[in-house]
Amino acid sequence: MKLKDKVAIITGGGGGIGRATAVLFAKEGAQVVVSDINQESAQETVNLIKSEGGEAVSVVADMANHVDVEKLVSFTTETYGGLDIIFNNAGVGNQEVKLADLPVEEWDRVVDINLKGVFLGMKYAIPKMIERGGGAIINTSSLLGFKGKKYVSAYNASKGGVITLSKNAAVEYGTKNIRVNAVAPGVIDTDIIQNWKDDERKWPLISRACALGRIGQPEEVAKAVLFLASDDASYVTGTSLLVDGGGLTF
């Protein structure tokens, strides 16, 4: 088992990539705090884990709200005695319009969840990891954090920010034995891309726009997150691991 007795928080754990990662972490021996803004879906993930004999608990937290995030971290350390891993994964897409037409409120909503949420997750987790003698942080960026794309300026900016913010944390806390990396998925089959799947004209193009010619599954991202979280990645920090089927290369 790669995460035996480790304590891990997974945000956005009620959805595709977060849920697949929570299930995999639990199989690898972690005690998992499944956090999401959606109580029901977080609890469904916990039920899945428990049905396979794993250990998990659900916590409702809005990652854009610093009070919620601080409570999430303190609940975790009170429940399991410490914190070893946080996967800052909660995220949302943006209303797809040209930059000048994007409402300011929509910019704030997306950047608050996708970028400030990652900042808050790290801000409250890092002191607990220092107390523990080290830890691993994985932040969810995106293929779109590396490139331009029409009509998704808030999303792309937030995901580009996650890459740089992860590097900052990596250089500030490396000597405290905390590794910080980003995972950058390409097109993965989850709820967040439902509007793309519903577009009969564009979907065949989007779904094949990578070297492998197919979309990815959440479990394929989860395996990369497990690598970054585990001691297999003991000398890996400050990097962004693309799990995009060769989407950036394409």
Ligand X SMILES: NC(=O)c1ccc[n+]([C@@H]2O[C@H](COP(=O)([O-])OP(=O)(O)OC[C@H]3O[C@@H](n4cnc5c(N)ncnc54)[C@H](O)[C@@H]3O)[C@@H](O)[C@H]2O)c1
List residues with catalytic annotation. 155
Nearer to ligand X, 18 or 54 (CB): 18
| Minimum CB distance to ligand X, residue 4 (Å) | 26
Contact residue for ligand X among 3, 8, 12, 33 (CB under 6 A): 12
- Identify residue 210 by its one-letter amino acid code: C
Query: What CA–CA distance (Å, rounded) separates 137 from 71?
Result: 18
| Binding to ligand X in span 72-91, by CB under 6 A | 89-91
216/161 Cα distance (integer angstroms): 23
Residues contacting residue 75 through CB under 8 Å, at least 6 positions apart = 33, 59
The structure tokens 């916590």 sit at 59
Residue 233: DSSP 8-state: G
Site string for ligand X, 37-76 (x = CB under 6 A): xx--x-------------------xxxx------------
Site string for ligand X, 189-228 (x = CB under 6 A): -xxxx-----------------------------------
Helix segments in 28-116, DSSP class H: 39-51, 66-80, 104-111
* Residue 92 contacts ligand X per CB under 6 A: yes
User: Residue 181 interacts with ligand X (CB under 6 A)?
Assistant: no
